[in-house]
Amino acid sequence: MNVKATVAALAGCLLAGAPAAQAQFSYAIENGTNIIISRYTGNGGAVTIPSVLDNLPVGTIGGVSFSNCVNVTSVTIPSSVTSIAGLAFLSCSGLTNVSIPGSVMSIGSGAFQYCGSLPSVTIPEGVTSIGSFAFNYCSNLASVTIPASVTNIAQQAFAAAGLTAITVDGQNAFYSVLNGVLMNKSQSTLVQYPGGVGGSYTIPGGVTTIAEYAFAYCGGLAGVTIPDGVASIGQGAFYECSNLASVTIPASVTNIGVLAFSASGLTAILVNGQNSYYSSLNGVLMDQSQDTLLQYPGGLGGSYLIPGGVATIAEYAFANCSNLTNIVISGGVTNIEGRAFEYCPSLASLFFMGNAPTVASATFLGDNLTAYYLPGATGWSLFFGFSPNMPALLWNPLIQTAGGSFGIISNQFGFNVTGTTNIPIKVEACTNLASPVWTPLATLTLTNGLVCFGDSQWTNYPGRFYRISSP
């Protein structure tokens, strides 16, 4: 590219009786033969891109050339254009119509991403490639037709769109459609489920692969049946399916990609007992040996105790679990993989029962939490400050039985608890140590290293025992 210019072009000036609309463009000349539109600087409305500028054909709508042009309502692209580059019309929220000519061969990644008002699009014969996120978050996009010429549709090309059906030309050699769902030609791979369809769905027999992000952002999907025969569930396959409450992994599945069920509404991930690769423990996805925690159901909140026997918390295992508040990590955990806890906004604390594990980079990205470790545990001097938003504190509360604070005071049975400043504790009680049922009484913080506890209900029991645990 060696020449840049700005031109005011009259759109629609050759249409008899039509009012002229001025549109401004910055552009560059490529190899002396072709114009690339680099930026639209007009006022919006209906825009017609000229076919010739500076006596050269306009061949490419450049990357971000119309991005965030919220006042543009329609765009007519001339037949000289062969390529719409990535992010070309990103966040054109007022765009309701776009005319793509048959000369266009490729639609780049994110080309129409976040064009929320676009109701439909016709992809002309001649387009061979549709990039990732090309129509991502086009929430009003109800229908799309894939012509015979398309040979490649990248992941999430139509994710988070409002599609109720996808249509594919019967002559297409690479893709097909079954009941409105995009498949590969042999229908062994489910490529894209229409995001605007709700309710429950049974994946057809014959499907062996659920493609990456195939159901991602399908907020209305309430249930899915995965048939035996499916071997692979791709990365992010059910990402952010907020109404999906449960899923069962059949015996045939041998591969589940990271983030497959992340940010979903799942309260349980179940696995067929005949599966040789995966298992489920209390609704949590594990490997077969149950020494690796793979995926925590994103719809669960509150607290979670990682079971003994787990040695590795896998990549993205808790990512995007927005309602999880604290986790107790058993002493056997020695390895936490990258991004395992990223973007858990409600997660306030991790209680480690053993030595400091090995932690990968970006494990706690986007979090603001505190790690607590027990007296005698090793490795925490190095762990301290691992993340700027995650200090590591010694958790060492002790009930003080000496002095005037222990016993009956003002009709309450009470005691002081001391320890590291600002560590949290939970006081629990039971009435029978032989068969204990511990009832939580209070959650407290050791402000300045001290907190006073009092039980006003102690006279209601013939005997009561107390203990301190992590919240």
Quote the pLDDT of residue 124: 95
Please give the average per-residue pLDDT across 288-304, as a whole number: 95
332 close to 309: Cβ distance less than 8 angstroms: yes
* 393 pLDDT above the threshold of 80: yes
446 close to 397: Cβ distance less than 8 angstroms: yes
Q: Over the stretch 23-38, which tens digit does the pLDDT of each residue have?
A: 489 999 988 899 999 9
Burial (Cβ within 10 Å: 0-12, 13-18, ≥19) of residue 27: buried
Question: pTM to 2 decimals?
Answer: 0.87
Quote the pLDDT of residue 186: 98
* 445 pLDDT above the threshold of 90: yes
Burial (Cβ within 10 Å: 0-12, 13-18, ≥19) of residue 153: buried
CA dist., res. 61 & res. 421, Å (int): 60
Q: Over the stretch 203-241, which tens digit does the pLDDT of each residue have?
A: 999 999 999 999 999 999 999 999 999 999 999 999 999
Instruction: Name the token pair of 142.
Output: 């109800």
Instruction: Name the token pair of 228.
Output: 């035996």
Banded model confidence at residue 380, pLDDT cuts 50, 70, 90: confident
- Name the helix (H) or strand (E) containing 380: helix 380-383
251 close to 274: Cβ distance less than 8 angstroms: yes
83 close to 100: Cβ distance less than 8 angstroms: no
CA dist., res. 122 & res. 3, Å (int): 33
Burial (Cβ within 10 Å: 0-12, 13-18, ≥19) of residue 329: buried
CA dist., res. 206 & res. 229, Å (int): 7
Banded model confidence at residue 403, pLDDT cuts 50, 70, 90: confident
**Residues written for the chain:** 471
More confident residue, 380 or 23: 380
Banded model confidence at residue 384, pLDDT cuts 50, 70, 90: low
* 434 pLDDT above the threshold of 70: yes
Q: Over the stretch 68-84, which tens digit does the pLDDT of each residue have?
A: 999 999 999 999 999 99
Quote the pLDDT of residue 283: 95
Q: Return mean pLDDT, the chain.
A: 91
Q: What residues contact 6, with CB distance under 8 A and at least 6 apart?
A: 24, 25, 26, 27, 41
Please give the average per-residue pLDDT across 10-20, as a whole number: 29
Q: Over the stretch 462-471, which tens digit does the pLDDT of each residue have?
A: 999 999 999 8
Q: Over the stretch 343-379, which tens digit does the pLDDT of each residue have?
A: 999 999 999 999 999 988 888 888 888 999 999 999 8
Of residues 369, 417, 370, the one with CA closest to residue 394: 370
Banded model confidence at residue 426, pLDDT cuts 50, 70, 90: very high
**Residue 170: Cβ within 10 Å count:** 8
The percentage of the chain sitting over the pLDDT mark of 70, rounded to a whole number, equals: 93
Instruction: Name the token pair of 201.
Output: 């769905």
Quote the pLDDT of residue 390: 75
- Name the helix (H) or strand (E) containing 381: helix 380-383
Quote the pLDDT of residue 388: 57
The C-alpha angle with vertex 406 and arms to 403 and 409, in degrees rounded to 5, equals 115
